[in-house]
Each structure stands twice: as C-alpha cells, then as structure tokens.
Amino acid sequence: MFSKVLIANRGEIAVRINRALHEMGIATVAVHSEIDADALHVQVADEHVCIGGNAVSESYLNIERVVGAAVATGADAIHPGYGLLAENPLLVDACEAAGITFIGPDASALRQMGSKIEARSLMEQAGVPIVPGVWKAVTDSDEVLAIANEIGFPIVVKASGGGGGRGMRVARTATEVQQAFEGAVSEGERFFGDPSVYVEKYLDDPRHIEIQIIGDKFGNIVHLFERDCSVQRRHQKLIEESPAPILTVEERTAIGETAIRAARAVNYHSLGTVEGLFQDGKFYFLEMNTRIQVEHGVTEMVTGIDLVKEQIRVAAGEPLSFDQDGVQVRGHAIECRINAEDAAKSFLPQPGRITRWIEPEADGVRVDSGVSTGAEVTPYYDPLLAKLIAWAPTRAEATARMLQALEGMEIEGVTTLLAFHQRLLSSEEWASSETCRNLIENKQWLRATDRAPNLARA
C-alpha cells in the first residue's frame, strides 16, 4: 500500500480523497494555485505545494509541476480526482517515467476512451449498442448535412475529445447544420485541443443513465448498478439519483451486463463509469469516463461501498474486496449539486466571498464540500461548491429528506442553486420521475427560482 499520495485536484473532490486517504492511514500532499493557498483542500492535507498561477494552465493542468511536486515530497502515487488531468494519458506517462503510481486506469484505456470516435468504434466491435451515427471525423458542414439526410434530423455534432457537455451542438434542420458544425469544432479546439468532430442522431428527451464499474488488475470487473442523471442544463448534470426510477429489473440487469462488456473491451482496471442514453426500453452507449465521477457518493450511499478507497486499493495492486453478488442496492439516494450559480439568470456563475456556510446535520444526509465560511469563489474554476446527498428507504422519503436538508443549508455571500433545487424537487414533474427538461428550459419558471419557496416545512 502507498505511504504518501499527492492529490492533483482542488475543491470538494480533493477534500473527499484526502479524507479517504487519512482513514486508510496514508499521508497526503495537496497542490494549489496562488489564489488557492488558503483553500480548504490545502488546509486538510498533511503537506502542500504551490504549483503556479491562478489559471489552470499555469497550475492544475501543468503536468511537469504536478509530477515535480510529487517527486519533491516523496509521494509514491498521484490521485487525479475528476476533471483537470484525470483523463490525460500524458500524466500517466509522466508518472511512469518518475516511478510514481497513477491511481486510475492505464494510458491505453485513457487514449481509447478519450477519443469519442475511437471509443464508439471499439464499442460497436464489442457488441455494445450505440446511438446511430458515423464514427469518423467530418471535415465540413456539407459532410454533416449528408449524414443528417441519411440518419434523419435532429442530429448532434460532437467534439471527439469532448465531455461534460462541452463541444456539443444540435441541429434540428438543415439551416442549423453549419452553425452546429462550427460551434462544435470551436469548442473542441478551445477546451480539449482537438478540433475533430463526428455526427450522431440526437435523441429528444431521453433518460441519461450511467453505470458505475470497477475492475482490478486480475481481470475482475463488477458493476455497482446505475445512476439516473437526466436532470441537466446545457448537457451538464444538476441532480443525480440511484437507483434509476424508471428501469425494470430486466432492464437494470441488461444495462449492468452491457457496462461490464464495455469495460472488458479495453481491459479496464480502476474505477470508471459507462454513460448512455435510455429511450423506449433501449440503452445506447455514449462514453466511458475513466475516472471517479462527481456523483460517486450517490452509489456509495445505496451500496455502502467506499469507492475512493476501493480505487486506491486496486491501484496498489490489490484484488477487489467484493464480487458481483456482494453488491446490493438498499434504499434510494439523491444528490443535488450546490453550484455558485444563479438559475434565475440562466445559471450565470456567481463569484464572491462566502460570508456564512452552515451545513445540515441529519441522519441519511451527507455533504461533500470544498469550501467554508470566508472562502473566495473565483471565476478561475468550476462553480461547484458542494454536493448535498440524501438517503432514505424510498424515493419519496429521500426527496422529503433532501428538501429538509436544502432548507437547513445556509449559504450567504454568493448566490447558489439551493432555491432552484427546492423548487424542482417540489414539482410534480420530479414526483412523476420526469427529466424536468420542460422546467429547466422555461425561462419564466427559472426566474422564480431567485427565492426559496419554504416548501420543505409545508
């Protein structure tokens, strides 16, 4: 087992990983930018190293400085968390060159799954169902139009290196094709350094279902059932829950088996997530996230398995501590992402200083946070402040518990999504297990989220 691990991340996930490592008796090293010198993830670590300026390119995305900090502090492993360098195979290469273990899959899996074009081609060969489309890079809008006429509108143009809702443009008619192509190319190049794009059929209002998987270096791969992440804005998740409220037992079993088949296609060993779209009883592969997910806590709450610790053990060469029969789902868990955003203003980021931060304390409620009173929310980084998770025996009870937790969470100094979550979870659409797209795309409804409804007590 490792003696010291450097956490190559910030915010709530760095705090979460730090806690798991300490519980395992492993020393921790935090890295930070200049503006993050007093951040919570720095305060809770045993050691910390400043690796550069405020921009992520100068600090958290600088592989040389991250690995250099690990070498300088004597860390024998690096945990990348999610985002930033988590799915960058160049970090894996640099770790190997420095004799440091990367807590994640090998570089081959990262490269195969990092290219959405290559990933879809590989999944098709493995017999994993994929959304209709063409799995090659398109070079101009005329080629996109020809594909759209073949598979039918609406279509979506996607950046090959995209993810997290970035690099996606929908075209519902021929007149929108050129704008969709240019937009996807631009975002792909800007955010991922890869301008290549491909085309697939766009499914209107599908469920977004993802399956948690984990594999060890001995060929054992299991799934930990699914999460429903259908409540999104601009293809970015807002609320996640497990189990998915709309699946039958047969559908749940089939989707789990599909996820394992996808993982075996790349000889996967680590924690990962197979994401897909579910519509009319059919599951279609979207992508495989080769890292821990933001919403992993939902799965932990219903299975009782600490995914971060298991991921660390696998990276250290240990076999999985459970098999498929050892994974059972109990009750229902819901996660709300507490972002520093104003839903009433189309989810506009809200930087500022947090003057009051009070977390709810109740049975079945968990808060994974990366800030506290006095923390500065800057425009340099993702606006996610915390994840509020509620568990109960049933979905209805979990919803009621979440509403109470939202009402009990106090944040002042910056606008957050607390009121938005209260209104959405109090809606008939949520109670009916809908995707709630009609609410999130309704500007009038969103404008009403600038105030909390106090519906939880009622």
Annotated catalytic residues are 291
Token output for 224: 């930990």
What is the sign of the dihedral through the CA atoms of 71, 73, 74 and 78? negative
Q: Report how far residue 8's alpha carbon sits from residue 53's, in angstroms, rounded to the nearest whole number.
A: 15
In the block, tokens 């390119």 appear at: 57
Q: Do residues 352 and 361 touch, judged by C-beta distance below 8 A?
A: no
d(CA 272, CA 184): 26
User: Can the peptide bond before residue 379 be classed as cis, meaning omega within 30 degrees of 0?
Assistant: no
Rounded Cα distance between 228 and 255, Å, is 12
User: CA torsion, points 95, 96, 99, 100, in degrees to nearest 10?
Assistant: 40
Cα 352 to chain centroid distance, Å, stands at 24
Task: State how far the Cα of 355 lies from the Cα of 379, in Å rounded to an integer.
Answer: 17
d(Cα 120, Cα 316) in Å, to the nearest integer?
Answer: 30
Residue 218 DSSP class: T
What tokens does 5 get?
């691990």
Rounded CA separation 279/435 (Å): 12
